[in-house]
Amino acid sequence: MKTPTKHDIAKKKIVDSARALIAERGFSAVGLSQILEVAGIPKGSFYHYFASKEAFGEELLRSYMHDYLINIHALFATPDKNGAQKLFSYLDFWRCSHIKGQVGDKCLIVKLAAEVSDISERMRRIMETGTASVITHVSQVIKIGQEDGSVHSALPAHKLASSLYQLWLGATLMTKITHSSHPMDEAWQTSLTLLGCTANQISPAARKDE
């Protein structure tokens, strides 16, 4: 494995440090000097690390999707849970990230999709590829649940996964608009119905207040 250079380390520091700032304020609203400042990198050196702000955005999204997929892989790798429990552990992680979590925990896809998809085709493609990977991972867990009997819906696993992902994206947007957890509470109940599960069946993955 190639040893990271000082340039590589500084570049990663900029991307990692700016994630929470972008998640809070959006992509266009954050200036280059703010990105460097939060990373503790000298002002005026942005183009030493990135060819453009769009190139920075691409690195930001690649890094975010890489870390996100690692997180859900860890959630799905628990051998003591059935398919439905693994799936609802992921949905609980999603809900808590937006209801109880810090700004940096929140989904960059939700924050940036509408903002950058029309202005950067390269960034849009990274989000498209990343979300497709998430849906594939979710569909694999749904398939496990169908095989072990914990998911009772007979609909194709990939169709269910796509529907769930779109449901939760919408619920996250409505949570931002309403400043209420109610849209995610409804998404949780709709997910149970869609998959043919009950709260008791997904325990202990179910929310503690369920």
Q: What does the pLDDT look like over 143-189, one tens digit per residue? A: 999 999 999 999 999 999 999 999 999 999 999 899 999 999 999 99
pLDDT given for residue 107 in this prediction: 82
pLDDT given for residue 105 in this prediction: 60
CA dihedral 118, 120, 121, 124 (to 10 degrees): -80
pTM of the prediction?
0.89
pLDDT in tens, 58-75: 999 999 999 999 999 999
pLDDT at 43 over 90: no
Residue bearing the bigger pLDDT, 141 or 203: 141
Task: State how far the alpha carbon of 24 is from the alpha carbons of 95, 142, 187, in Å.
Answer: 17, 32, 23
The structure tokens 């449901």 sit at 167
**CATH code, 53-202:** 1.10.357.10
Residue bearing the bigger pLDDT, 79 or 105: 79
| pLDDT band, residue 101 (cuts 50/70/90) | low
Q: Whose CA is closest to 41, among 19, 11, 20?
A: 11
Q: What are the residue ranges spanned by the domains of the chain?
A: 53-202
Q: Are 29 and 43 in contact (CB under 8 A)?
A: no
* Percentage of the chain lying above the pLDDT 90 cut: 79
The string of DSSP codes covering 74-125 is HHHT-TTS-HHHHHHHHHHHHHHHHHTS-GGGS-HHHHHHHHHTTT-HHHHH
pLDDT in tens, 70-90: 999 999 998 899 999 999 999
Mean of the per-residue pLDDT values for the chain? 91
